[in-house]
């Protein structure tokens, strides 16, 4: 579904200054995955999401989404892509919702823009996110979590193949965040829609198929793969869903196209490396061992 290769994004601040937001990032997402992206503030994760969604263009590299080349897409085709291929959910509800419309009218709006109004489908989507009883409710009568679920229904109004969510649980409490993630997982399973979520909350990532960590705008450095996740769909009954999951997982570091690897700073600190860009690296018993060069044996 998504294939990024050596992706770069450079913002020009003025004639003499530039900011490199992404510098050679490789990133892949399979069709039907529910993927999480984590990283510290300024790591480039939201920049990546905006480029995948067609809100910003890469400076260099390769970006294919659902077979479409976003670097070479015309402005007209890019508008069509944003309407038909991708849906968005934002942390700030003001970017998702129109406050003077009812819940169902908000969901209908993207359909009207596309020219394919379907009120029955709008109601079905609200049912799927557990708000079948709030069709006619104005947004000011809904809780923050309910408003975010309306926003999720809106993002699916035009049947996109890809759903992008930027900190969708950032403005709600832990219990509500858990319900929202369950809603997204349920939609991922029922509709087969690919979902990519940017989040700072590593506790929520346990519900995702994979988690990619981005550091300093560079190649995604770690992947956390969960081996199994069972979801029992009881979200419509309003109890937040029942889950069972295995805690077994494996962490993988990612090699970029030049076969380079990022070593987490905390790993280097653990072996006492600071103030140098050199490490000792050896092959021992089928394993690559990285060590502090100052601890090398000398004759």
Q: What is the pLDDT of residues 42-93, one digit of tens each?
A: 778 888 999 999 999 888 899 999 999 998 899 999 988 988 899 999 887 7
Furthest C-alpha separation in the chain: 81
The 3-state DSSP class for residue 243 equals: strand
Number of domains present in the structure of the chain: 2
For 133-159, give one letter per residue: b (16+ CB within 10 A) or e: ebbebebeebeebbbbbbbbbbbbbbe
For residues 134 and 193, membership in a common domain is answered with yes
* 150 within domain boundaries: yes
For residues 260 and 274, membership in a common domain is answered with no
For residues 168 and 195, membership in a common domain is answered with yes
Per DSSP bridges, beta strands 162-166 and 2-14 are: unpaired
H-assigned helices in the chain:
45-52, 75-84, 103-114, 119-128, 144-155, 174-191, 265-270
User: Which among 192, 132, 206 is positioned nearest to 156, based on CA atoms?
Assistant: 192
For residues 149 and 252, membership in a common domain is answered with yes
Determine the Cα–Cα distance for residues 162 and 169; give it in Å rounded to an integer: 19
Query: Residue 217 has what pLDDT?
Result: 67
Phi and psi at 17, nearest 5°, equal -135, 140
Query: Residue 195 has what pLDDT?
Result: 95
For residues 178 and 285, membership in a common domain is answered with no
For residues 187 and 92, membership in a common domain is answered with yes
Query: Residue 250 has what pLDDT?
Result: 63
* 143 within domain boundaries: yes
* 233 within domain boundaries: yes
Q: Which segments of the chain have a pLDDT < 50? A: 227-247, 299
Give the structural domain span for 290. 268-299
Query: Residue 91 has what pLDDT?
Result: 80
């Amino acid at each position: 579904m998504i294939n990024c290769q050596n992706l770069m994004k450079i913002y020009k601040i003025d004639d003499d200054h530039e900011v490199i937001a992404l510098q050679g990032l490789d990133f892949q997402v399979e069709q039907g995955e529910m993927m999480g992206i984590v990283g510290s503030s300024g790591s480039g994760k939201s920049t990546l999401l905006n480029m995948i969604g067609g809100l910003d263009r890469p400076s260099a590299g390769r970006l294919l989404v659902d077979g479409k080349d976003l670097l070479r897409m015309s402005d007209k085709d890019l508008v069509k892509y944003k309407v038909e291929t991708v849906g968005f959910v934002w942390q700030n509800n003001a970017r998702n919702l129109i406050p003077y419309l009812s819940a169902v009218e908000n969901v209908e709006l993207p359909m009207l823009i596309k020219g394919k109004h379907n009120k029955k489908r709008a109601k079905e989507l609200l049912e799927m996110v557990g708000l079948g009883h709030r069709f006619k409710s104005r947004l000011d009568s809904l809780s923050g979590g309910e408003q975010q679920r309306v926003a999720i229904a809106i993002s699916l109004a035009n049947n996109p193949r890809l759903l992008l969510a930027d900190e969708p649980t950032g403005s709600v409490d832990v219990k509500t965040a858990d319900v929202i993630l369950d809603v997204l997982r349920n939609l991922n399973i029922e509709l087969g829609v690919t979902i990519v979520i940017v989040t700072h909350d590593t506790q929520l990532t346990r519900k995702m198929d994979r988690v990619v960590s981005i550091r300093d705008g560079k190649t995604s450095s770690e992947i956390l793969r969960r081996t199994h996740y069972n979801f029992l769909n009881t979200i419509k009954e309003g109890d937040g869903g029942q889950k069972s999951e295995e805690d077994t997982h494996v962490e993988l570091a990612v090699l970029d196209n030049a076969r380079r690897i990022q070593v987490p700073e905390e790993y280097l600190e653990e072996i006492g490396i600071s103030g140098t860009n050199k490490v000792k690296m050896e092959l021992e018993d089928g394993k690559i061992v990285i060590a502090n060069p100052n601890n090398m044996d000398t004759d």
